[in-house]
Amino acid sequence: MARRRQIYEGKAKVLFEGPEPGTLVQYFKDDATAFNNKKKGVITGKGVINNRISEYLMTRLGEIGVPTHFVRRLNMREQLVREVEIIPVEIVVRNIAAGTFSQRFGMAEGTQLPRSIVEYYYKSDELGDPMVSEEHVTAFGWATTQDLDDIMSMALRVNDFLTGLFLGVGLRLIDFKLEFGRLWQNDEMRIVLADEISPDCCRLWDTKTNEKLDKDRFRRDLGQVEEAYQEVARRLGILPEGGPGDVKGPKTLQ
Ligand code: UDP
């Protein structure tokens, strides 16, 4: 088979031209970066696990009516997605203070927020993803007020659903980042959830021990990075426990 045309290479994924017009193949790498590319490394097997976790979460979200770009997983590291026009704004939803939010407000990590807080960041590596307000997003034409209403309600719905899903397997969803894109179908535009949802872009803490099971293990050199990603997949029931063919579904806590 002829090698597919590469469309884009990001920090953790590569996008290739898909088999039909309007589709792309999303390839998950093991590369990891943090602090706006200042820290680089490899988390062995991360791409395989994130491909599975993102497939699982996007599929569950699709089942409750959240539109996504996900079509189907193709193999260990690749999934077929719909080609969308990415809105250059990262949507961060926070339930509990952590990371840059804790620093910005001088709030201890782990402090429960009075309600879920949604923030916008302009996607720009050169500028280090600066935080922006709705004013910037609409004035610079990245999205309209109506688009932001849709994005905000989808983001909160995703948050409610994922908070419950993760709680069921003993994980607290502290915060996460989403990306949305415009999907054009017969002159009609719909905003859909895009990119990925995985421990690369979520903070997940064990409900009993507060152990971090996400990319903070890499960012902060906490060790056991590969194991943390595997543990999230194992709890979601998407990593075989007793070897291939032993996938049992989510391990809900009693
Ligand atoms: N996040 C992300 N990509 C980014 C920035 C943040 O996936 O470019 C995620 C991050 O993993 C965390 C949440 O968004 O779950 C909030 O991140 P924060 O603003 O605290 O920044 P960080 O401490 O990760 O630099």
**Residue-averaged pLDDT of the chain:** 94
Structure tokens at 161: 């659903």
Give the per-residue pLDDT at 243: 47
Distance of alpha carbon 253 from alpha carbon 136, whole angstroms: 43
The pLDDT of 78-101, averaged and rounded, is: 98
pTM of the entire structure? 0.94
| pLDDT of 247 above 80 | no
Range of weakest confidence among 27-41, 93-107, 235-249: 235-249
What's the pLDDT tens digit per position in 25-77?
999 999 999 999 999 999 999 999 999 999 999 999 999 999 999 999 999 99
List pocket residues of ligand 1, CB cut-off 6 Å.
90, 92, 98-101, 129, 175-177, 201-203, 215
- Fold of the domain built from segment(s) 85-206: D-amino Acid Aminotransferase; Chain A, domain 1 (3.30.470)
For residues 161 and 253, the model is more confident at: 161
Which contacts (CB < 8 Å, 24+ apart) does range 62-68 have?
64/157, 64/161, 66/154, 66/157, 66/158, 66/161, 66/193, 67/154, 67/183, 67/190, 67/191, 67/192, 67/193, 68/192, 68/193, 68/194
Pocket test for ligand 1, best of 159, 162, 171, 201 (most atoms within 8 A of CB): 201
Cβ atoms of 204 and 197 within 8 Å: the answer is no
Give the per-residue pLDDT at 20: 95
Give the per-residue pLDDT at 248: 55
Task: Give me ligand 1 centre to Cα 19, in Å.
Answer: 32
The pLDDT of 133-155, averaged and rounded, is: 98
Task: Give me ligand 1 centre to Cα 201, in Å.
Answer: 6
Q: Where are the domains of the chain?
A: 4-84+226-253, 85-206
Give the per-residue pLDDT at 245: 47
Query: Among residues of the chain, what percentage have pLDDT more than 90?
Result: 91
Per this entry, what is the length of the chain? 254
The pLDDT of 192-202, averaged and rounded, is: 98
Residue range 4-84+226-253 forms a domain whose CATH class is alpha beta
